[in-house]
Structure 1
Amino acid sequence: MKKHIFPGLIVAAVLGGCSMAPTHERPTLPVPDAFAGKTNTSAKKATDIGWKEFFKDVRLQAVIQTALENNRDLKIAALRIEESRALYGIQRADRLPTINAAADGSRARTPADLSSSDASTISTRYDVGVSLASYELDFFGRVKSLSDAALSTYLATEEAKRSAHISLVAEVAKAYLAERAFAEQYALAEKSYAAREESLKLAKMRFKVGATSALDLAQYESLMQSAKVSLVTLARQRAQAENALAVLTGKPLADLPPAQALSAQGVLGDIHAGLPSELLNNRPDLRQAEQKLMAANANIGAARAAFFPRIALTGSYGTASSSLSGLFESGSRAWSFAPQLVMPIFDTGRNINNLDLAWARKNIAVAEYEKAIQVAFREVADALVGRKFLVQQVDAQDAVMKAEAERLKLSEARYNSGISSSLDVLDAQRQLFSAEQALVQARLLQLTNSIDLYRSLGGGISDTLPFVEKK
């Protein structure tokens, strides 16, 4: 038995490395060779900046840490890795023989009319030994290709978890800053409502003594009610933002450090963008798409190998006897060896269609990979454009707010001196409130854009799990 099986296993080990899968080559980048505009080459790359270095606000750091520990989507992504690792282990096991130990006993009665001795007989048989299950000699790399496909799928799942990690950090940060923006706008609305309520009281007093008209009083009333609408709206939006943040963090937030204003966040904005080709190694979602492409490529090898013969080995070695006491006596050795060769001849086009299917799925994977690269390029390009103009927008909006504050001050002075009407004061109050709200929104846009640039360049990848090396 051993003389027959072991040479076959040696041949399988030597030829098992053969593969009929096409050689994997990265498609040509469907994007320009460089990003538009100039970037500071002396600045740090996003991949070298951990999220704790990027986000300076200790309250935000605590929120992100809570999310990384409790977010359900991230937990699901981690469990997907375990699932894919197990599936790869199952597929990889087919590359080595499966040997089982077995003990068997049987007792049977044969009727006289079926017995060669014309008398009923009772036979007994006991077997103990090891058996080799049907093991395929992988001459044409079918099993290896399936194993490679499973490995690439496993690695793609690993990259998906990293991508989820980076995206979660960015989404939590943006949700937190959105809640802070609503809080600041709510505080401004509260201040505006209190001021307009006081103005309405004064207008009522002036109306009673005939110092102002009913029209002016109605305008003060309208302005106060508008401020109340803004106050209630912002209260609702802030509560909803808090709920969204609680879902991302996976648990209610408590015992957090004091909050900082948007203007004091200190988020890093000066990041070196690098070249578009660097995104292929820096972004987990692109590496995930490439692993899926490699899996589709390996499946082509398995589909090609299906056109060639399959050789499988089945055998057993042990002892057999008609009595338990005779199992290990001299001469009780028993063995069997049953090689099998299967050659496809007519399968109604099954193998051809499987190969066509494998090629179609590879072409789909190529298109998805190229699309992922284009999306990544656009995300970086948009964030770079935003970085260029949002600084100017915030500065301009700040100047508008200061000008409106000065205008209100002068309008109130002219009104108190009897030079202008209350309409000028009311209009100045409305414009100042709008300018203050717009400034908060502009600062939020600037911070959100910085986060998008950091994420789109693969920022925070150094904080994810180590790479899984192909063995």
Structure 2
Amino acid sequence: MLATTTCLTGCDLDWEKPDPSTPLPERFRAAKPKSAPSIGSAHDFAGRFGSPELLGFVDEAVANNFDIAAAVARIDQADANARIASSALWPSLSMNNSWQRYQIPGTATAQTPSNLSTAVSSGNSLSSKAGFSASRRTLFNLGLNASYQVDFWGKNEDASKAGRILANASRFDRDVVEISTVAAVLNGYFQVLNAEDQLRIAHDNVKLAREVFDAIKVRLEVGTATALDVAQQETVLDNQLASIPPLEQTLRQQRNLLAVLLGRAPEDFGVGGSSLKKLRTPRIEPGLPSEVLLRRPDVAEAEAKLASQEFSVLQARAAFFPQITLTGQYGVQSIVFSNLMRPEAIAWQVMTSMAQPLLDGYNLQGQYMLQQGKYAELLADYRKQIVTALSDTENALVAIAQTERQLKLQMDAVAAARRALEAAQARLRAGTIDIVTLSTTETNYFQAQTTLEQVRLANFQALTSFYQALGGGWSPTTREVEIARAEEAYQADKGPWP
């Protein structure tokens, strides 16, 4: 009957919640179908590369990174919002103390001046002194006001649950930020070492190209080479020299970026590592798809937002029903301060009210439909996050396997290019090689070395992507801990009411 009364505008309160479940594959295409433990925390994962410096950078970033600090601040905001959303579950009590001094005009209490009858009886005309007598009053008031909304339909409880679950989501978001930050530190460190490796190669190549250039100039002096030969080799040398400034730029900019990730000023920051070749490449098993999803904080965050929105839908539905409020006032009032403590000064009032929307221009129906639409949007985001997590893992597995394969092949290519260059240099000394062949051989060797270092960097970056795809060191246990922390934050200092 209540539903019929409140829905005079033709609303529909039925809502069939969509099924959020998503079918999962039994295994990853690029991995064996077996369970695997978590890869550990960011500290544990960074330690697998065998670099104490990298390990220290990761720990420092987790402690001092500005994005992580901002995410922690958002947790505090979410906890505060959860407290605000839950406030209607408890009675409100306020103090109402006042002191009033006021004047009541005589014209408000009498129709004629106070001395009119005296003037008439004496036979005299109304004098200018005739007037209305005003009165002044003082009122002292000490009191308490209390109110409580009876949550018959669960509207306030739904709002509280929605806010508290969003507080959980904020904690999961902080973990997402940490994983992204750690991945950025890892990649930044790898890029610094890669730039240093490529700079060493570039300087070695410049030295080699200069030696060949000097040898060709000697041949020009004795008439066994031409000016064209010298110009061609000079081009090779200049190209190697021109490759150094971009590498210097990359090195310095990556150092600066790494400093910002650690919360440091770039001017006071340096990297002691020298080569990617000195790092180890850890071996990691992904486990099963269901395990990966339980280890991804972004999936947990999307799930929490979806669960919170479900209660927002229920809250909008409960708004159609009557809202019953209990109010009360208790205190003392007196026109004399000394009488405030007398029993006769006590004043009190108790009231029950019921508010029932009847016609509102479809406002409540629109709010209800709006919350349902938000739920549908968050459901789509949740499902997308699941398939994205699976795709990230598959892509990382493919990238690791293929970059490892490419790395081995490229090392063979560098070795072959080196042998070809040594043979060309021997023929140059013997005077039996043309400069075009020599220049081509040099260029191939230089390019093969550069490609090798690019592939090596890509292999380490694939490991970083794998770390992100597996949810960092996150686990179902971490999720339980985060939820417990949110509950502790909610329970702490929430007030005297149960």
TM-score by length of 2: 0.84
**What SS does the aligned partner of 2:327 have?**
strand
User: CA–CA distance in 2 between the matches of 1:185 and 1:290?
Assistant: 44
Q: 2:72 pairs with 74, 78, 83, which one? A: 78
Matches within 5 A, 1:383-462: 383-461=396-474
**What SS does the aligned partner of 1:372 have?**
helix
User: CA–CA distance in 1 between the matches of 2:50 and 2:14?
Assistant: 49
Letter in structure 1 aligned against 2:30: G
Q: 1:90 pairs with 60, 81, 84, which one? A: 84
- 8 Å contact 1:30–1:374 — kept in the other structure? no
Q: Does 39-48 or 169-178 show the bigger shift?
A: 39-48
User: CA–CA distance in 2 between the matches of 1:351 and 1:141?
Assistant: 16
1:213 aligns with 2:226: yes
Percentage of pairs with the same residue: 27
Pair 97,22 (structure 1): closer, same or farther in 2 beyond 3 Å: farther
Please name the residue that 1:51 is paired with: 45
Matches within 5 A, 1:131-142: 131-132=145-146, 134-142=147-155
How far the C-alpha of 1:348 sits from its partner, in A, is 0.6
- 8 Å contact 1:29–1:277 — kept in the other structure? no
Q: 2:144 pairs with 130, 150, 155, which one? A: 130
User: CA–CA distance in 1 between the matches of 2:246 and 2:439?
Assistant: 21
How far the C-alpha of 1:32 sits from its partner, in A, is 2.8
Please name the residue that 2:120 is paired with: none
1:167 aligns with 2:161: no
1:101 aligns with 2:95: yes
User: CA–CA distance in 1 between the matches of 2:230 and 2:108?
Assistant: 117
How far the C-alpha of 1:166 sits from its partner, in A, is 0.8
Pair 93,303 (structure 1): closer, same or farther in 2 beyond 3 Å: same
How far the C-alpha of 1:76 sits from its partner, in A, is 1.4
- 8 Å contact 2:31–2:286 — kept in the other structure? no
Please name the residue that 1:378 is paired with: 391
Deviations 1:63-122 (A, max 9, x none): 223323332222211111111111111221221111123322223322334338986443
- 8 Å contact 1:21–1:300 — kept in the other structure? no
User: CA–CA distance in 1 between the matches of 2:185 and 2:483?
Assistant: 27
Larger Cα-atom Rg: 2
Q: CA RMSD, aligned part only?
A: 2.6
Letter in structure 2 aligned against 1:78: V
User: CA–CA distance in 1 between the matches of 2:478 and 2:428?
Assistant: 62
Pair 177,24 (structure 1): closer, same or farther in 2 beyond 3 Å: farther
Letter in structure 2 aligned against 1:130: L
Matches within 5 A, 1:215-364: 215-252=228-265, 258-268=272-282, 270-364=283-377
Q: Does 338-347 or 250-259 show the bigger shift?
A: 250-259
Q: Does 393-402 or 113-122 show the bigger shift?
A: 113-122
How far the C-alpha of 1:123 sits from its partner, in A, is 3.2
- 8 Å contact 1:317–1:336 — kept in the other structure? yes
User: CA–CA distance in 1 between the matches of 2:75 and 2:15?
Assistant: 27
1:143 aligns with 2:156: yes
Q: Structure 2: which 5+ residue stretches go unaligned?
A: 1-12, 115-132, 488-498
1:467 aligns with 2:493: no
**What SS does the aligned partner of 1:89 have?**
helix
Q: 2:202 pairs with 183, 189, 205, which one? A: 189
Letter in structure 1 aligned against 2:241: K
User: CA–CA distance in 2 between the matches of 1:26 and 1:272?
Assistant: 31
TM-score by length of 1: 0.88
Please name the residue that 2:55 is paired with: 61
Pair 261,143 (structure 1): closer, same or farther in 2 beyond 3 Å: same
User: CA–CA distance in 2 between the matches of 1:123 and 1:87?
Assistant: 45
- 8 Å contact 1:97–1:135 — kept in the other structure? yes
Q: 1:36 pairs with 29, 35, 41, which one? A: 29
How far the C-alpha of 1:265 sits from its partner, in A, is 1.2
Letter in structure 2 aligned against 1:112: G
Pair 415,219 (structure 1): closer, same or farther in 2 beyond 3 Å: same
How far the C-alpha of 1:161 sits from its partner, in A, is 0.7
- 8 Å contact 2:36–2:288 — kept in the other structure? no
Pair 162,235 (structure 1): closer, same or farther in 2 beyond 3 Å: same
